[in-house]
Amino acid sequence: MYEDGYENITNIDISHTVVKYMEDKTKSRCPKMFYRQTDVLDMSDLKQGEYNIILDKGTLDSILCGDNSTPNAEKMLGEVYRILAPSGTYICVTYGDEDHRKKFFVNYSFNNLNENASFLEIKLKLFFNVHIIILERI
């Protein structure tokens, strides 16, 4: 994305080690790319409505594999919704199909989420499906 002109990118991870490693790895070629150590279950260090686009590449799936998965997924999505700007877009890349993911989004006001909404499904290597959920905040 950075090479395509999207320079104001903030990446987050719960691991300080990962954040430090990625900062060191990219600082010379991507000087306007930022890294922050934070927990997606409590992003109180990030401002409400601060981000126009949030790209989730498997974080929701990881949360759903852990202890207290449903309440933690709800906390995470509440935080995502809070920091997403009005009319902002949340993109979730997941292995979960529509039947297993849609229920987590119904408590939030997204323009294109209703009973008839469907998820984009991409088939890769015939072994698994990757679903891309694109939701716009009202």
Q: pLDDT per residue over 72-85, tens digit each?
A: 999 999 999 999 99
Is the model's pTM score more than 0.75?
Answer: yes
Q: What is the mean pLDDT of residues 86-108?
A: 85
Dihedral Cα 75, 78, 82, 85, nearest 10 deg: 130
Residue 41 has pLDDT above 70, yes or no: yes
Residue ranges of domains in the chain: 1-37, 38-136
What pLDDT, on a 0 to 100 scale, did the predictor assign at position 101? 85
Side-chain half-sphere exposure of 53, counting CA atoms within 13 A: 11
Residues whose CB is less than 8 angstroms from the CB of residue 106 and which lie 6 or more positions away in sequence, other chains included: 113
Q: What is the mean pLDDT of residues 129-138?
A: 79
CATH node for 38-136 = 3.40.50.150
Alpha carbons 54 and 88: distance in angstroms, whole number = 8
Mean pLDDT of the chain: 86
Residue 126 has pLDDT above 50, yes or no: no
